[in-house]
Amino acid sequence: TLAQARLKREQARQELAEGLNPNAVKREQAQERQAQQLTFKAVAERWYKGKAELAKKPWAPATAKKARLYLDNDLLPALGKKPIAEVTRLDLINLNEKIEKRGAFDVAGKVREWLNAIFDDAFDRGEISHNPAYRLKASAYAGGVVSKPNPNVGFAGLPKLLADVEATNSHRVTKIAIRLLALTAVRPAELRFAQWQEFDLEAATWHIPAERMKMSRPHVVPLSQQALKLIAELKALNPKGYLFVIRGSNPISENTINKSLWLAGYKGKQTGHGFRHLLSTELNERGYNSDWIEAQLAHSGENKIRAVYNHAEYLEQRRQMLQEWADAIDLAEQGANVMPLKRRA
The residue from 299, 304, 306, 344 that is catalytic is 299
Report in angstroms the alpha-carbon separations of 12 from 2, 26, 27, 105.
15, 10, 14, 52
d(CA 248, CA 251): 9
Q: Is 187 a catalytic residue?
A: yes
Q: Is 242 a catalytic residue?
A: no
| Nearest C-alpha neighbor of 69 from the set 114, 100, 102, 38 | 114
CA-angle at 137, arms to 131 and 143, nearest 5°: 170
Q: Is 207 a catalytic residue?
A: no
The residue from 135, 247, 309, 342 that is catalytic is 309
Q: Is 273 a catalytic residue?
A: yes
The residue from 273, 277, 311, 319 that is catalytic is 273
Q: Which amino acid is at 60?
A: A
Q: Is 171 a catalytic residue?
A: no
Q: Is 343 a catalytic residue?
A: no
- Residues in a beta bridge with 200: 205
Q: Answer positive or negative: Cα dihedral of 193, 194, 195, 198.
A: positive
Q: Which amino acid is at 67?
A: A
Cα-Cα-Cα-Cα torsion 268, 269, 275, 279, nearest 10 degrees, comes to: 140
The residue from 187, 212, 277, 319 that is catalytic is 187
Q: Answer positive or negative: Cα dihedral of 312, 288, 328, 244.
A: negative
DSSP summary character for residue 200: E
Is residue 39 within 8 Å of 84, Cβ to Cβ?
Answer: yes
- Residues in a beta bridge with 83: 39
Complete edge-to-edge strand list for the sheet that includes strand 199-200: 199-200, 205-208, 219-222
The residue from 214, 217, 235, 259 that is catalytic is 214
The residue from 112, 276, 318, 319 that is catalytic is 276
DSSP summary character for residue 241: S
- Residues in a beta bridge with 221: 206
Residues with Cβ within 8 Å of 266's Cβ and at least 6 positions away in sequence, in order, are 153, 161, 164
Give the chain's largest Cα–Cα span: 99
Q: Could you list the active site residues?
A: 187, 214, 273, 276, 299, 309
